Structure 1
Amino acid sequence: MSQRPGRLRRLLVRVINDENVDLYILAMVAVAFTALGASGLSDVKTLSSVVLALLAWLALSQIKSRRQLDELGKAQRGNPTTLLKSEFPADLISRRAASFDMLVIGLTMTRTVQGLTTDFPAILAAGGRIRVLVPDPHDEALMETADRRMAHSMGAGRVKQRILTTLEDLATIQARNEGRLEVRVLSTIPSAGFNCLDVTSPRGLICVQHYEFQPRREAGPIMTFTAQDGPWFHHFVAEAERMWEAATPVPAIEETAPTPGEGVGAA
């Protein structure tokens, strides 16, 4: 007997704290007065007043529900500034150095490759895979377009030289280290800059930099997605992989590269 009051109190507290308590009360009152009306214990005037009161209560409940839905929608949309950044994540460099499977795509990749000169050999020695994708430096028109995507124009010739330097640095790393280091060139400007790190693992991360036309500073926005972000994470991973599949391995490009004295600007 002593346990019954305690159970009743817990049940009462649970009902009172329930978000739908107003609907429970509304339903009970409606059932009660429906029974009174059917049995003739309540007159028409009283029933009409109760019905109007119930309708008013139902309207208030609907207003409450709509406010909750609005708040939920705002929470799901979130603040766009939490996703769209003007700078790269502070831990991107360390994440790249600690990755096992990497696909990086960019315009010249000079800063990235030079920054990872000591990390690439360690990744390769551990059995990791590194893939680098840049525009084809032997396409002069493509180099002019790439220059217009730079924060500071340096001329198509300089862009070409920076890409060639990147390719030479990668060739040196490849010659000095065993492992899976693959380099390809693309016949179009990449739609964005990509850092795809361990994307097939639960700790996968992809950082996407939108390329602007003649940006005045670092192109943006910059967006970061993890495997937990679901559809958009997989969307950008798939896009990066499509560009990689459409690109040409560097050895094939080097074999068809114009020799000195040929091509644009030749005498």
Structure 2
Amino acid sequence: MTHADARRRTGTTTRRPRQALLHTLTDRHLEAYLVSGAALVVGALNLLNVTSPEVVAAATLAVLGVITFDLLTSRRRMRRIESSLRTVVGSLRAEAPDSVDRLLAVAVPGAAVGLTGARDVRLVGVTLNRTIRNHLDELRQQLAMGATVRVALIDPVGPAADEAARRNGLETSGGGEIFRHRIRPTIDLLDYLAAQNTGTGRLEVRLLRFVPAFGMMLVDPEDPTGQIVIDIYSHRPDGHEATITLRADRDPLWHRHFVREFDRIWAGGQTRHERKLT
């Protein structure tokens, strides 16, 4: 079943109890108007002496009978209304969006979508140590096949490493050096990729003098089937980082938003490598 079919089925299911509730309330109002109108007519006939007392008495008894019958059936009607309301509420809950717990997952450092066949790969992060190491072979293969790879990570020289240390609770002296030590292997691996002499791809690396608010891996983001994996950084991380995957066809609004975020981050970086591999 497609998403459109599911939506149509849910919409039909929701409309039916709503229509039943509307019909029940409408019937209830109509009977009330009829009984009230009949009572007014009988009262007017009695006051105006238009007909005999026997006819008025019979009409009064008839109206009282209708009222009695209505009172006897009111409990059943209330149960029908209550059932219809519960069905409507249940349908509305079924139409509600999924819990964010289903949308977010626990981030696994270095893990992301596959890069096989990718023509445009963009990476943003603090050190990207495990990400580059885990995807090194894929990146080399895609560069050999003509892909463009753009990488942005913090500059080991400058204030960004010290800020990253503070965010991770390493305010003591030497905290920034820990992050500089983590970044150096990443830069060595990127230098290795840039030094390759096969393929027609393009590798671009920029160093950031600020700490990005989140990590990202964008795979063919300009294509209709593009994907973005976003790692949401925590202040003083406790080992449970959140990640979410956006797809261009499923999440067009936020997918475009984070593509523009990459462009803004990229514009704020300093070029280290920007060369076409030959």
Classify the TM-score, shorter chain.
0.5 to 0.7
2:213 maps to 191
> How many angstroms apart in 1 are the aligned matches of 2:123 and 2:131?
9
After TM superposition, the structure 1 = structure 2 runs for residues 114-153 of structure 1, keeping only pairs within 5 Å, are: 114-139=133-158, 141-149=159-167
Gaps of 5+ in 2: 1-11, 43-58
Deviations 1:90-118 (A, max 9, x none): 9x545234432211111111211122222
1:201 maps to 223
Gaps of 5+ in 1: 1-13, 253-267
2:96 maps to 76
Is 1:223 matched up with 2:244? Answer: yes
> How many angstroms apart in 1 are the aligned matches of 2:220 and 2:85?
42
What SS class does the counterpart of residue 139 from structure 2 fall into? helix
1:246 maps to 268
> How many angstroms apart in 1 are the aligned matches of 2:233 and 2:67?
67
Deviations 1:177-233 (A, max 9, x none): 43221111122101011112222223222222122233232x512222223034333
> How many angstroms apart in 1 are the aligned matches of 2:273 and 2:195?
13
Identical counterparts, % of pairs = 24
What SS class does the counterpart of residue 105 from structure 2 fall into? coil
1:101 maps to 120
Please provide the CA RMSD for this pair.
4.1
State whether residues 105 and 244 of structure 2, in contact with CA within 8 Å, keep that contact through their aligned partners in structure 1. yes
State the one-letter code of the partner of 2:163.
T
> How many angstroms apart in 2 are the aligned matches of 1:170 and 1:75?
47
Of 101, 121, 129 in structure 2, the residue corresponding to residue 110 of structure 1 is 129
> How many angstroms apart in 2 are the aligned matches of 1:222 and 1:133?
19
1:23 maps to 22
1:261 maps to none
TM value normalised by structure 1: 0.67
Query: Greater CA deviation, 179-188 or 160-169?
Result: 160-169
